[in-house]
Structure 1
Amino acid sequence: MAGKQPEYDYDLFVIGAGSGGVRASRVAAAHGARVAVAEEYRVGGTCVIRGCVPKKMLVYGAHFAEDLEDAKNFGWTIEKPSFDWQVLRDNVLKDVDRLNGAYTDTLENHGVEIIHERAVLTGPHEIALGDGKRTVTARHILIASGARPHVPDCHGHELGITSNEAFHLDAIPPRILIAGGGYIANEFAGIFNEFGSKVTIINRGDQLLRGYDRSLSDRLLQISIAKGIDFRFNAEFRGIEQKGDCLTVSMTGHEDIEVDCVLFATGRVPNTEGLGLDTAGVELGEKGEIVVDRFSKTNVDHIYAVGDVTNRVQLTPVAIREGQAFADTVFGGGNPVAVDHTVIPSAVFSHPPLAAVGMTEGEARNKLGNVKVYQSDFRPMKNVLAGRNERSLYKMIVDADTDRIVGIGMIGPDSPEIMQAAAVAVKAGLTKADFDATVAIHPTMAEEMVLLK
């Protein structure tokens, strides 16, 4: 910022107060920038308000269904347990309110101005607020408007809901059809199944969780079927009809099905419409995403974008890293900081959960050719005593020429918790010999990681 600069109302104006926008705003303000963030809904974004945080709370609630059943073999007698959806729903929403307040306080404590209005670019450095009667200017602009659930364009699509509305249902639907094969579909399938719904998943392809190792997704499919979830593959919506209190869904390749609720979990769409990006000359990609370079900069020098709106990696921790790197690069006064988007761990909070980092076996064979695969297929100790015939699978992919671990995948209880530490090892480039040399913690599921054969 050396030299004579034109005067603007703000050094940074952020559109969207989700995970990436909040982190960028806070860090930029800590660097001394005058920052404003516009958010037309609630501070916290998808993850905090209607995504991973409330969903994980529902996952915890759903786990009690099996825990209460398993407790009998551990000596516990629990008389007539019952579940009240509205109690869980309201407590979850109450905690969302708390987090919304905490995020708001964080911004305000750092001197960030929060503008609870829609913001639209009306010029290179100009932003119109709300109804357009007020405009402000900013030296730098950051788009962090996130993404929204995709809704298929079929007859009667307005009769379905998305994950946004799932947290606000008045009651658990007796029969629910979930469209999609990704993490959101499988997570909500597990949740609603444990809460007593008859769950059917339809997927236009023939595989669940396409980005994960096939053996892990196949294991989840087997376990889900054993739990009573139905699957219809190679099925695309033809339409949804309201018939009394029920919905009749027609699809390709399968007979019609009658359900009480249809949940769309068919991907997410970047929120770029109506932001005035064309006015500012910002380039968009084929899916409507904002095209950025490795420093999150668009084709317009002073306009940046982070998070789901760029459609790079749609994960909250990635958006946070991108927001931090942007603020440090533009306002930190040091060397530019770029986020490394390789070897990113991820998890699916299904029942049981699944987690992975690095390459799948197929990816490793295609890229490296010579690989070694180590795995452990076992029944967790708790499941043995509970009488639950549900097996975990851990898998390690190793570059045979260097012994370096290039990928780990696992499905089983607490897999995401175990994976976080394992991901550090893969990111650091450790070898299979390093794992073999590490003493096991016994008895744990995690010890399988250092005992793989």
Structure 2
Amino acid sequence: MTVLDRGSRPLANADHDVAEVVSQSLSDDGVTIINDASVTAVNDGADATTVTNKVGGETKTIDAEAVLLAVGCKPATADLGLEKAGIDTDDRRFITNDEYLRTSAESVFAFGDVNGGRMFTYIFLDDNRILADQILGEGRRSTKDRGAVPYTMFLTPPVARVGLTEKAGRDLGYDVKIGAKLMADIAVAPRAKIEGDPRGIVKFVVDAKTAHILGAALVHVHSQ
């Protein structure tokens, strides 16, 4: 498998050490990642699909049995007649809403992909809690008190993250302490070794002044 990535490195939002471990795991499984790549053409042939791409100004081609094109998401709201219902949208056709997920139409809420927020299943679940509090609770819960929402990338081994990365913590002015160790070197976590896949890393970002955990990245068997 070959991945053509427009970015300069995989997992651009993760710390370098975590991204390197994940990249190595993918490489071990036969995945080739080409960074700074821009796809210019995809042509179906009799026996293969040819993907033309540019890397560093050089044009290259890859023959593939199948091509998965991932170019982002957009809301399917164009034909819903939202204007007739008095529901406002932004310039990308996402439904606009406030911190309580209320739209411009009374008693109409927008949550999940359609409201233009971060597109994670875990965000949708928290949106659901906000909506439930609006309808059945005290109506206090909002996106502003969402806190750190964990999420998972379903790779092998999976990547689970929550809170701040080391870089984000330093950028925000925290005096951070780092606790990081490769799974293969953690004697008290034998399950990965027992299952025959000790790849991965565990990393915690801690506020040195308060000892509060600011964030964590868990890359190992069953981390999700």
TM-score tier by shorter-chain length is: 0.7 to 0.9
Do structure 1's residue 371 and structure 2's residue 173 form an aligned pair? Answer: no
In the aligned structure 2, how far is the partner of 1:270 from the partner of 1:227? 34
Q: Which residue of 155, 158, 162 corresponds with 1:357?
A: 162
Query: Do the aligned residues in 2 keep the contact of 1:216 with 1:354 (CA within 8 Å)?
Result: no
Report the CA distance shift for 1:302/1:344 in structure 2 as closer, same or farther (over 3 A).
same
Q: TM-score, normalised by structure 1?
A: 0.44
Q: Does structure 2 retain, via aligned residues, the 8 Å contact 1:355–1:410?
A: yes
CA drift of 1:361 comes to 0.5
- Indicate the residue corresponding to 1:332 in structure 2: 136
Partner of 2:83, secondary structure, is helix
Give the corresponding residue for 2:120.
315
| 3-state SS in 1 of match to 2:84 | helix
Three-state SS of the structure 2 residue aligned to 1:280 is coil
* Deviation string, structure 1 residues 380-403 (Cα, Å, up to 9, x no partner): 746657876x53211111111211
Q: In the alignment, is residue 271 of structure 1 matched against residue 76 of structure 2?
A: yes
- Residues 153-186 of structure 1 show CA distances to partners (whole Å, capped at 9, x for unaligned) of xxxxxxxxxxxxxxxxxxxxxxxxxxxxxxxxxx
Q: Does 1:235 align with 2:40?
A: no
8 A contact 1:247–1:260 mirrored in 2? yes
Aligned counterpart in structure 2 of residue 410 of structure 1, from 210, 218, 223? 218
Q: How many residues align?
A: 216
Aligned to 1:343, which of 115, 128, 148?
A: 148
Match of residue 303 from structure 1: 108
Deviation track 1:71-106 (CA, whole Å, cap 9, x = no partner) reads xxxxxxxxxxxxxxxxxxxxxxxxxxxxxxxxxxxx
Describe how 1:39-118 pairs up with structure 2 within 5 A: none
Question: Share of identical aligned residues, percent?
Answer: 26
Rounded Cα–Cα distance in structure 1 between residues aligned with 2:136 and 2:43: 56
Alignment gaps of 5+ in structure 1:
1-198, 417-453
TM-score, normalised via structure 2 length: 0.85
- Return the offset for 1:406: 0.6
Q: What secondary structure does 2:74 align onto?
A: strand
Would you say the 8 A contact 2:97–2:110 is kept in 1?
Answer: yes
Which residue number corresponds to residue 260 of structure 1? 65
Check the 8 A contact 1:345/1:355 in 2, yes or no: yes
Q: What stretches of structure 2 of length at least 5 have no aligned partner?
A: none
Q: Post-superposition shift, 1:283?
A: 2.8
Structure with max Cα Rg? 1
> Could you say which residue in structure 1 is the equivalent of 2:13?
211
Distance apart, 1:233 and its partner CA? 1.1
Does residue 220 of structure 1 match 2:22? yes
> Residues 212 and 284 of structure 1: is their aligned pair in 2 closer, same or farther, counting only changes over 3 Å?
farther
Which structure has the higher relative contact order (CA within 8 Å, separation 6+)? 1
